[in-house]
Structure 1
Amino acid sequence: MAVRLFVFDAYGTLFDVGGAARQAAAEPGAEAWADRWVALAAQWRRKQLEYSWIRAVAGAHADFWQVTQVALDWTLEAEGLADPQLRQRLLDLYYELPVFPEVPEMLRQMKELGFTLAILSNDSPPMLQAAVVSAGITPFVDAVLSIEEVEVFKPDPAVYAMVGACFGVAPPEIGFVSSNGWDACSAAAFGFHAIWVNREGAPMDRLQGRPAHELSDLHALPILVAGMGDGNGRSR
């Protein structure tokens, strides 16, 4: 069955989740902690994901912006950086995260190949819209889907089912791209044509599905998928 559209995870796949800590560390006044920004960003992201999984399993949903804030609070305390001004600066910057350098050109090429493009993310609609607009990628994105429609975080199958409901296509017709191994594996198990963007060179997760392809970044994605379409999102 032909792949007709591609859906991207947002944070870590299109948007650089380390961007907020990296920029804050480069600003005046950050000298005391600037050499720890990488660890801070990694801890923040890890707690963000952990809290989303726990809430999904517990049936205790909260929107991702709340999860992002409490994950940051934990991280700042763990790093000995419980500074209200730093907290606010990091949250402000998170609303304007940069995309990875290859993203705009990759999206442009994907559109030229004729594919419909969408984002499917754990994040709340205001966060997603702010990020898309700030990054200047609005012209390339046909739809932005938030899990707030079903109020459960990935990898719950209800999240992946949103794509078919929105576009009226079956799972095998959907290409799914994520930098999170667990997300790519779960999407593959759901039936998507999953592509894992393994930016960190990590081992494949031992889960219930396996992505069809693995890339180190998004540069080569248009080349990879060109054989799946004829310029109208249909396979050759």
Structure 2
Amino acid sequence: MTEVLCFDVYGSTHNQHSVTDTLEAVTGLPSPIVQDMSEMWVEYQISYSMEVTLMRDYRSWWDLTTESLDYVLDYYGVNLTDTEYQRVMEAYKHLEPYEDLANFGQLRDAGHELYILSDGNQDMLTELAENTGFDEYLTGIVSVEDVEVFKPHPKAYENIENYTDRSLEDCTMVATHTFDVAGAQAAGMKTILVNRFNVPATRLSHTPDMVVDSYAELADHLSGE
């Protein structure tokens, strides 16, 4: 059966920590410290997104990305020039895919509809997809920018119904973050957890409909190979 597959991007299909080479180059700090900075950056992005949703104070993912980076730089006492800062943010527009994008081609060729369903704002997602070749495999790009709330708010997932003729219950969220999978399931979607980091099951009593280790495994399963 043809599936509507909705993919999270940041931390799921694309590696946010692929900016560490650039971050290390502009800061001159040792790799372990830069890795910790990157981890904190992602942590605060997600934390800020949930906080502004609860406060009903939406701002774009790009804004949260720069604000969380500013926090990390301040925390570590790092001052960047405008040029250095722009180098880091430019790297964020070219995040590396975790896996060979041919896996998504396999899913597309099997007849499935592939959407991005992400916290990122539309311009960011479109640019990243174009920069990395992901756009070749996509049916569409769905941003929470439309509804001005971030995941795991139900409206973030319900927005997919504005882009496809399927009901929410007939769409599947594919993500690596367990909170994303839990949120999608609570909203009414089917869910697939790409558990590449072998994390424990969520304690929120939401069990994914499928768990795979990679997009390659998912593609083989859904294309019948």
Q: TM-score range by the shorter chain?
A: over 0.9
CA contact (8 A) 1:181 1:205 kept: yes
Please state whether the residue corresponding to 2:124 is helix, strand or coil. helix
- Superposed CA deviations along residues 107-164 of structure 1, whole A, max 9, x for unmatched, are 1100111001100111111111110000012121010011110011111111111112
Please state whether the residue corresponding to 1:210 is helix, strand or coil. coil
Look up the equivalent residue of 1:220 and give its one-letter code.
Answer: E
CA distance in 2, matches of 1:223, 1:32: 41
Check if 1:22 corresponds to 2:21.
Answer: yes
CA distance in 2, matches of 1:54, 1:62: 11
CA distance in 2, matches of 1:79, 1:198: 31
CA distance in 1, matches of 2:21, 2:169: 38
User: Which of these residues, 66, 72, 92, is aligned with residue 75 of structure 1?
Assistant: 72
CA distance in 2, matches of 1:199, 1:148: 28
Superposition map of 1:149-228 within 5 A: 149-207=146-204, 209-226=206-223
CA contact (8 A) 1:3 1:175 kept: no
Tell me the equivalent position of 1:99.
97
CA distance in 2, matches of 1:140, 1:32: 38
CA distance in 1, matches of 2:69, 2:160: 30
Q: Cα distance 1:47–1:198, how it changes in 2: closer, same or farther (>3 A)?
A: same
- Superposed CA deviations along residues 38-61 of structure 1, whole A, max 9, x for unmatched, are 211110000000000000001011
CA shift for structure 1 position 22:
3.1
CA shift for structure 1 position 30:
4.7
Structure 1's unaligned 5+ residue stretches are 228-236
Look up the equivalent residue of 1:122 and give its one-letter code.
Answer: D
Please state whether the residue corresponding to 1:61 is helix, strand or coil. coil
CA contact (8 A) 1:187 1:209 kept: no
Q: Identity of aligned pairs, percent?
A: 23
CA distance in 2, matches of 1:50, 1:207: 18
CA shift for structure 1 position 3:
5.6
Look up the equivalent residue of 2:4 and give its one-letter code.
Answer: L
CA distance in 1, matches of 2:102, 2:45: 29
TM-score normalised by length of structure 2: 0.92
TM-score normalised by length of structure 1: 0.88
CA contact (8 A) 2:13 2:99 kept: no
**Alignment size in residue pairs:** 224
CA distance in 2, matches of 1:33, 1:88: 21
Structure 2's unaligned 5+ residue stretches are none
CA distance in 1, matches of 2:76, 2:207: 35
CA distance in 2, matches of 1:147, 1:192: 16
Please state whether the residue corresponding to 2:102 is helix, strand or coil. helix
Tell me the equivalent position of 1:233.
none
Check if 1:11 corresponds to 2:13.
Answer: no
Please state whether the residue corresponding to 1:32 is helix, strand or coil. coil
CA distance in 2, matches of 1:82, 1:177: 37
CA shift for structure 1 position 177:
0.4
